[in-house]
Structure 1
């Protein structure tokens, strides 16, 4: 039944990932004090990671105003600080493309493969948003403890890294969406993200989840986990 429901939503471009908190002792054992949730959408990951790490403080970044309002409402009962901005390699106003399926919204143009594989995710409008560099935001967060950075920003991952190199150098770990094929135009694929992170002392630990092309079963993207060897 669960697989049937997943398949129905997949055809609409909605990905349902099953992650059970009881299988996350590896993450609990990292003894994290904070989680930076970059690309929070409406709070899906914030609520999940709160189940896994109930004592960790979560700082969620979401630039789209309607999604941000839902994020605030959906996380009001857990320990979350919310910021209405995107993170990138510049500090400026930019236009984000909003998808009919909001988790697919991006500052980049959507590649043909994305619309072919995930029906119903076409862009429907644009919105002016604030983009900031993580290295400029981080001092304002008053973080004093061990933290993980989660990045899910629809092809904009390398810009987040480049704007947050100094912050990432002191983070414990990174959970980041990495693509193996171009889903957004001009995005950096897995190998490029891998090179950026190992260049500042990280090692790749494997994929937390993977999403496949339903037509032929090849892997399209994953949530990849890296740990900072300088901090461990």
Structure 2
């Protein structure tokens, strides 16, 4: 029995090694594809078909543990083959039920979380706020998640915040959050099935159709990345809605709305001036609906806010991929002042009130446990 297990383990290592070599070979062939003759292109197509068959074979091996199939699954996805694979996993003390066919849940399964550095930053920030206000009547421990999507950030922060307000108008993903709220018997998350904007209206929502369910947007330019119009969904002006729903005492506001961040911030002007929370938001550079410069961003914020970003890029502006790959696994992060504004891409930006900068965690602690 031990010999059989050992042979299977060795075979698995050989299979993984050869699958990696095949991937490199296919990538090399792809680069030469458009410079080939018809005969060579036919050979290329045959090689691609062979690769697809090979990876399908690897995926179906019953004795190859799912933990070894990460690269195999990702490669199959590049061929347009997305297998249904439901799973249940422990998620920072909570029970999470997901599926590998969703890219966010794929990260939860293989890396423990999606955007782990951001999660750990939010946790550390809330704990710093709590320590700074300990023994006073000021601490409320409120986290606001605008663009909650599947709710991973809300679920995680429910372990550290007293109250979580999650905003998500797209029912396909918000129902997943509601499922996990009920599954884990969570009582401190309030789900609001609306989007936030600078005015109250119903707008067409452009839904994602692939594995990445995190790119749904009210921005029509998302049609260029494959999103499809899926009907109109409700948007509300933040200031009016927060007053109506008596949402107050915000400590941290996280915004991830795929290019709609400018409208969200301008719709919350009164709330931000009164509450002065620490704001963490994803900015989409080069998007017509979003900000075009640091100056434009500052105009949407109350006075005396300082801007930071995560240190994820090289000096030339390119993403530091090795550093990023490590951070995805460990959750390590480092903040640096935001100076340059890019022409394209996305970054997470932190806007911190000057009076709270002393409690802002500038780098990760390395702690991964939860209370």
Give the TM bin, normalised by the shorter chain. Answer: 0.7 to 0.9
What whole-Å deviation, never above 9, does each CA across 1:155-192 have from its counterpart, x for those lacking one? 0000001111011112321011123x33x553324625
Give the distance between the partners of 2:147 and 2:262, measured in 1 at CA: 13
Please report the TM-score for the alignment, with normalisation by the length of structure 2: 0.50
1:71 CA displacement: 1.8
Aligned partner of 2:347 in structure 1 is 222
Greater strand content: 1
1:134-153 equivalences in 2 (<5 Å) = 134-143=238-247, 145-153=249-257
Q: 2:197 aligns with which of 75, 78, 88?
A: 88
SS at match of 2:129: coil
Q: 1:17 aligns with which of 112, 115, 118?
A: 115
SS at match of 1:177: strand
SS at match of 1:128: strand
Q: Does 1:172 align with 2:277?
A: yes
Give the distance between the partners of 1:166 and 1:102, measured in 2 at CA: 31
Q: Which moved more, 1:86-95 or 1:134-143?
A: 134-143
Higher relative CO (Cα under 8 Å, sequence separation at least 6) belongs to: 1
Structure 2, unpaired ranges of 5+: 1-66, 81-101, 105-113, 131-139, 325-341, 358-371
1:125 CA displacement: 3.5
* CA separation of 1:80 and 1:24: change in aligned 2, threshold 3 A: closer
SS at match of 2:291: coil
Aligned partner of 2:229 in structure 1 is 125
1:88 CA displacement: 0.3
Root mean square deviation of aligned Cα: 3.6
1:67-86 equivalences in 2 (<5 Å) = 67-76=173-182, 77-78=185-186, 79-86=188-195
How many residue pairs end up in the alignment? 217
Give the distance between the partners of 1:167 and 1:85, measured in 2 at CA: 17
Contact 1:148–1:173 (8 Å) recurs in 2: yes
1:23 CA displacement: 9.3
Please report the TM-score for the alignment, with normalisation by the length of structure 1: 0.76
* CA separation of 1:95 and 1:14: change in aligned 2, threshold 3 A: same
Aligned partner of 1:97 in structure 2 is 206
Q: Which runs of 4+ in 1 moved over 6 A?
A: 9-13, 208-211
What whole-Å deviation, never above 9, does each CA across 1:108-152 have from its counterpart, x for those lacking one? 12369x73xxxxxx1133221110011001113434534211110
Q: Does 1:59 align with 2:139?
A: no
Aligned partner of 2:306 in structure 1 is 203
